[in-house]
Structure 1
Amino acid sequence: MLALQALIIALCTWYAATACPMWLRWSVYFGAPLVAGLVNGLLLGNLTYGLAVGSNVMMAYIGMVAIGGSLPSDYALAGYLGVAMTMLAGADPSVGLTIAVPLGLLGLLSFNVKMSLNSVWVHKADKYAEQGNTRGVVAMNLFASQIFPFITYAIPSFLCVLFGSSALESLMAVIPSQVTSILSLAGHLIPALGLAMLMSVLYKASLLPFFAIGFALAAYLQLGTMPIAIIGAAAGVLHLIYTSKEGVNVFEGFSFGPEEASDIADEAAAGQKRLSKKTLRKSWFIWQSWGQICYNYERMMGLGFCHCMVPVLEELYGDDREAIAAGLKRHLAYFNTENTWGSIIPGITAAMEEERANGADIDDDMENNLKTALMGPMAGIGDSVTQSLVKVVLLSIAIGLASQGSALGPILLIVLFSIYALGVGYFCYNAGYHFGKNAVTKLLAGGLVKQLTEGLGAMGMMVLGCLVATVIPITCPLTFDLATGTIEIQSILDTILPKLLPLVSFLVTYHFIKKGAKPTTIIIAMFVIAIILSPLGILS
């Protein structure tokens, strides 16, 4: 039975880390510990325990953002393998962080091996491109790219669960209770790091009142994450309405007006080549799903971008292998961006390929220069909105539900993130195709990014305040026996401000993050604090 469980856990780790569609990876990869809590809870027969471990481990990663292909930790190994090992060892959910975090750091070796060796398949794709062999290019992106990740993720995970879980269980059984208490306190402190990193991303002086409201609602009224998120969404809209002179007009500049429709009719009448909606949808879905599956240090998302252009090239050039070969070669160049908002770039490129097929004076340099010029700005927008705001808000809601034992948390994360990623990606791809190189200007002129950032920022700060009050469960167990009775320090602190210690730990951690302290340094400091204060009975 353990062998089967180890196999399933290993396959889940590999799938989440590198094989799943990119739009789904936002939830099952960047939300790995939380989703792993659901998966392992079902697999190991204890859903409540799995959700508790997953939500605890997730707190260490909620504020981490992957920029430009760099990861601060490997979320898949920390999540799927870390949660599984914690559960198999029967450890307290708060101890899960002390197991998962080291696995996540070790997992960066697997990530770096994958990123280095996947370049082999890009060079193989170059040879297929010379021949105009689209099937060969697609095979390199979809299938060959999974050989090295399977070796570096699935096999070690399988062996770790199969042979390491019993050893870890035996170790946990003989560890003195005092050591377990130290590990538990460290696990209670580490969520403050994730939230502090999140605060450094969301911080804006004008949004601080929303943080205070979220904290107060959770600390005084014991409201959960979901009702506070709903209140935060309403507050975000009100914030936009009353701080913008023009109010909220998200889609300004993106109407598909009569001029564009008449232009399409004129082109069709002239017998010019037009990409079908089916081909555009196929190109978009390939990009949204497999644009990053062969991620590598040499070309980054270059092979994935070329893959999404295959249906465009095949429809425009038909049996002209020479033209298809030329198209494949120009799209195998280096490319890297955020793939939801960045969908606007393959949309623009599809429009340029269409114009080029109709005889427009467009050369390889023009297409590649445009891609290069846009990939940075669109990555900046995408990372800011998707990772720093949307991901955080959805994870916060999901963690709140999961920590209460509800499987709806991770399920909601997967569903809502999928709707967001696919919806934004489809909108941006079509905007790029219809508006061409002016799409980015219209996107920014319409105020969409600014409005989303402001509104989600207000909501995010309110949810952040709620999380500070609910997911940093540190208390002071000190008591003093006097002639008049027993004095409980925690009760005194609660009369001053409920959840005062979680707030203080969060603020102190945030202070050091702003001073430039490294997360690993802060984690070590938290373990030192736990080693000192837990045996003294000052914190638990």
Structure 2
Amino acid sequence: MEISLVQGILIGLITAFCYSGQLLGIYTNRALVMSFFVGVVLGDIPTALTFGALAELAYMGFGVGAGGTVPPNPVGPGIVGTIMAITLKHQGVTPESALALSFPFAVLFQLVTTAIYTIFSGNVKWSRNAIEQGKYKRFNLIANSTYIAFSVAGFLIGLLAALSRPGLQAFVEALPSWLINGFSVAGGLIPAIGFAMIMSVMLEKSLTPYVLLGYICAAYLELPTMAVAMVGTVFALIQYYGKDKTIVGEESTKGNSQTTLMEEEDFSNGI
């Protein structure tokens, strides 16, 4: 599949919007969002959403940075990975293998992000000097310079990723089939690792049985996604309303104990 110049420009604009959107807190730099827009441009939304769902599971966990570590950037799979999954699927590249192949790009784009933050780290001092000198137009430019830099970098990344598709195809065709299959296996494990990282932070011991139940429903009973979600909803309601009854029971117990204490007190002395 060939990518035209117009499609490349559109992918560049999408990348600019999604990449710079992380500064606005609107979560446009999520892999699933970028995969969907790239799928619209390339005309293959099902493959894009399949890949985006895999990447989102993985990078939700990778987004939990341990200590001072910086996680990989989702722009790698969201843009480059989706392009590979759509344009190279006839060359044997599956969404799983595309996820594994796009991981180095995720690390590279995080280095770009760190470099941009480093370059514009003096914005606070420059903005203060501009205000003191009464140069408010200069202050406005400095205040928005980081956002502009992210937009420009995102556009260049998206455009180059789209126009470098022949190079990606040549690279994939040079790989042996057994290595592509290995990348598919590794890519299938990455979402599991990401989800495990999330559970290691959020999971409580009391909720472990429900996690095992969900795994049994999906892996052994082979229930569809909606059925597993409905089973989870049932147990969530049981857990929610069970807590209310427990609170009411505790309050009534406290009330009875207080009444018993009142009855046992001796008021013969008038106090």
TM-score range relative to shorter protein: 0.7 to 0.9
Aligned match of 1:36: 34
Report how far residue 174 of structure 1 moved. Answer: 4.2
Check conservation: 2:36, 2:45, Cα contact below 8 A: yes
Aligned match of 2:8: 6
Report how far residue 234 of structure 1 moved. Answer: 4.4
Aligned match of 1:196: 196
Aligned match of 2:110: 108
Distance 2:238 2:130 in 1: 55
Matches within 5 A, 1:141-160: 141=143, 143-160=144-161
Check conservation: 2:64, 2:198, Cα contact below 8 A: no
Distance 2:208 2:126 in 1: 52
Report how far residue 207 of structure 1 moved. Answer: 0.5
The secondary structure found in structure 1 opposite 2:247 is coil
1:62 to 50, 60, 63: 60
Matches within 5 A, 1:501-516: none
Check conservation: 1:94, 1:188, Cα contact below 8 A: yes
After TM superposition, the score normalised by the length of structure 1 is 0.40
Counterpart code for 2:49: L
Matches within 5 A, 1:357-506: none
The secondary structure found in structure 2 opposite 1:62 is helix
- Rg: which structure is higher? 2
Q: Deviations over 1:61-83 (max 9, x none)?
A: 13233569963111123312322
Aligned match of 2:253: none
Report how far residue 95 of structure 1 moved. Answer: 0.9
1:140 to 129, 139, 142: 142
Report how far residue 219 of structure 1 moved. Answer: 2.9
Counterpart code for 1:64: F
Counterpart code for 1:211: V
Check conservation: 2:117, 2:146, Cα contact below 8 A: no
The secondary structure found in structure 2 opposite 1:73 is coil
Report how far residue 211 of structure 1 moved. Answer: 0.6
Aligned match of 1:450: none
Matches within 5 A, 1:71-470: 71-90=70-89, 91-130=93-132, 137-141=139-143, 143-162=144-163, 164-243=164-243, 245-246=246-247
Structure 1 residues 210 and 133: CA distance shift in structure 2, 3 A = farther
The secondary structure found in structure 2 opposite 1:119 is coil
Distance 2:227 2:136 in 1: 50
Counterpart code for 2:12: A
What 5-or-longer segments of structure 2 have no aligned partner? 249-271
Distance 2:44 2:68 in 1: 35
Counterpart code for 1:130: E
Check conservation: 2:79, 2:161, Cα contact below 8 A: no
Q: Which runs of 4+ in 1 moved over 4 A?
A: 66-70, 131-139
Counterpart code for 1:146: Y
Structure 1 residues 14 and 209: CA distance shift in structure 2, 3 A = same
Counterpart code for 2:72: S
Structure 1 residues 130 and 225: CA distance shift in structure 2, 3 A = farther
Structure 1 residues 63 and 24: CA distance shift in structure 2, 3 A = same
What 5-or-longer segments of structure 1 have no aligned partner? 248-540
Q: Percent identity?
A: 26
Report how far residue 114 of structure 1 moved. Answer: 1.5
Check conservation: 1:118, 1:148, Cα contact below 8 A: no
Aligned match of 2:50: 52
